Amino acid sequence: MNPSDKIKIVTATIESHLCPTVVVGKSDDGGTIYARYRWGRLVIRLDPSNPPPHGGAAGAWIMDQQLDPEGLAGCISYDEIRELTSELIEWPDELTPRPRRESEATSFPEDYEA
C-alpha cells in the first residue's frame, strides 16, 4: 500500500483501557475511527458521518482480525494497535487526552467521609 493511501488519524483517545480496549479518533477528512479489542479480536470501523452514530461503532468495518486464537484476551495497548495496523492506518504518535465528562467527579463532595 502506498503511504498516501493510508487512513490518516489526527486525534486518538482511549475510551476504555480495560476489557474491551476502545480507541476512538478523527481522521484528517473528518471521519471517525473506532477500534475495539475484545475476546482476542481487533475490529476497526470507519464512519464518515459527523457526528457518527454510536460514537463510530456503527461505521464500516475496515479491519477484523482474531489475534488471540483462544479468544480470551481483552486488553491491548495503543502501541500494539498502531503496530498491527501500520500498513492501513497512520495513527498519531501520542494519544489525545480524553476530555472530562460532566458526569465524572473531579473531587470528593464536602460531606464525603473516608
The answer to pTM > 0.85 is no
Name the DSSP letter for residue 79.
H
What are the cell numbers at 53?
452514530
pLDDT for 17 equals 83
Residue 1 has pLDDT above 60, yes or no: no
Answer whether 37's CB lies under 8 Å from 75's CB. yes
Answer whether 56's CB lies under 8 Å from 30's CB. no
**Residue 48 identity:** P
Residue 113 has pLDDT above 90, yes or no: no
pLDDT for 50 equals 86
Q: Which residues of 76-104 are buried (b: 16+ CB within 10 A; e: fewer)?
A: bebeebbebbeeebbbeeeeeeeeeeeee
Per-residue model confidence as pLDDT tens digits over 51-94: 999 989 999 999 999 999 998 988 999 999 999 999 999 999 99
pLDDT for 79 equals 97
Cα(20)–Cα(71) distance, rounded to whole angstroms?
12
The larger pLDDT score, comparing residue 16 to residue 29, is at: 29
Quickly tell me which residue has 480496549 as its cell. 21
Instruction: Give the pLDDT mean for 1-15.
Output: 86
Answer whether 88's CB lies under 8 Å from 62's CB. yes
Cα(63)–Cα(72) distance, rounded to whole angstroms?
19
pLDDT for 103 equals 62
Per-residue model confidence as pLDDT tens digits over 28-45: 999 999 999 999 999 999
